[in-house]
Amino acid sequence: MPDFSDALVDRLSRADHVAVLTGAGISAESGISTFRDPDGLWEEFEPQELANVEAFLDNPELVQGWYRHRRQVVEEAEPNAGHRALAALEAHVPAVSVVTQNVDDLHNRAGSSTVIELHGNITHNYCVDCERDAAPGTVDAAIQHGQPARCPDCDGLIRPDVVWFGEMLPPDAVERADAATAQADVFLSVGTSAVVYPAARYPVVAREQGAYVAEVNPDTTGVTDAVDESIRGPAGEVLPVLVDAVADSDGGAEPTP
């Protein structure tokens, strides 16, 4: 049974706004590798080699092919009980903002209504020249023919809509994440090692601004010393029980599916 405090349940049931920062750990139970755990994606591939604009321009086909493979992995995955519990929290709190470092689209697919994607979304592609969206099928067809994928309108190269090393985060996502952090009465940091900035600062800033801050992670993280409470366990086990406890204190609403 996950161990969390009555204070957290009470704060969540009285909150007007809950902000949740998520990282790769929340999708681990959907079968998607994390970055820094052993067997993570970054162990298998050298990220600096592929996740940057120079590598893309040098060898677009290789980088497009790697991202196509990663897209197929996330498309075959399903949201897990952790993603679904965050969507279900919306029945008990007026506003829930999910600020995610993940590019896997699983919060959207689980039904969360406010998802702020700090590092982009791997299911989207766009043309680097005309910036029009490109259908994933355009990439699939080109790669299958051993060609770099190009824009059907202007022949520019097509890239995944993810943030690469050396690139800025999307300014609108940062602005929305800043606002969600400032408004939060309760802030949850879930499944992130909390070592990559600016995301790692959000739990700290939230607490400075008066939010009650809890982390959900089997291990210690970069913000463990800065949170009010650490709940040690997998997100897919902790979050459904936590949201059920909030539902009970709300007057016995339906249990989390």
The residue (of 125 and 221) whose beta carbon lies closer to ligand OAD is 221
Q: If binding is defined by CB under 6 A, does position 65 make contact with ligand OAD? A: no
Question: Interface mask (CB under 6 A) for ligand OAD, residues 42-61, using x and -?
Answer: --------------------
62: which 2 tokens? 């290789």
The residue (of 196 and 253) whose beta carbon lies closer to ligand OAD is 196
* Span 95-114, contacts to ligand OAD by CB under 6 A: 101
- End-to-end alpha carbon distance in the chain: 18
Among 189, 221, 230, 256, binds ligand OAD (CB under 6 A): 221
* Span 181-200, contacts to ligand OAD by CB under 6 A: 191-193, 196
Among 12, 20, 21, 24, binds ligand OAD (CB under 6 A): 24
Q: If binding is defined by CB under 6 A, does position 234 make contact with ligand OAD? A: yes
Integer Cα distance of 109 and 32 in angstroms? 15
Residue of closest CB approach to ligand OAD: 25
Q: If binding is defined by CB under 6 A, does position 126 make contact with ligand OAD? A: no
Q: If binding is defined by CB under 6 A, does position 222 make contact with ligand OAD? A: no
Q: If binding is defined by CB under 6 A, does position 218 make contact with ligand OAD? A: yes
Q: If binding is defined by CB under 6 A, does position 203 make contact with ligand OAD? A: no
Q: Which residue has the tokens 């349940």?
A: 9
Q: If binding is defined by CB under 6 A, does position 80 make contact with ligand OAD? A: no
Cβ 119 to ligand OAD shortest distance, Å: 4
Q: What residues are annotated to the active site?
A: 119
Per CB under 6 A, residues contacting ligand OAD are: 23-26, 28-29, 34-37, 40, 101, 119, 163, 191-193, 196, 216-219, 221, 234-235
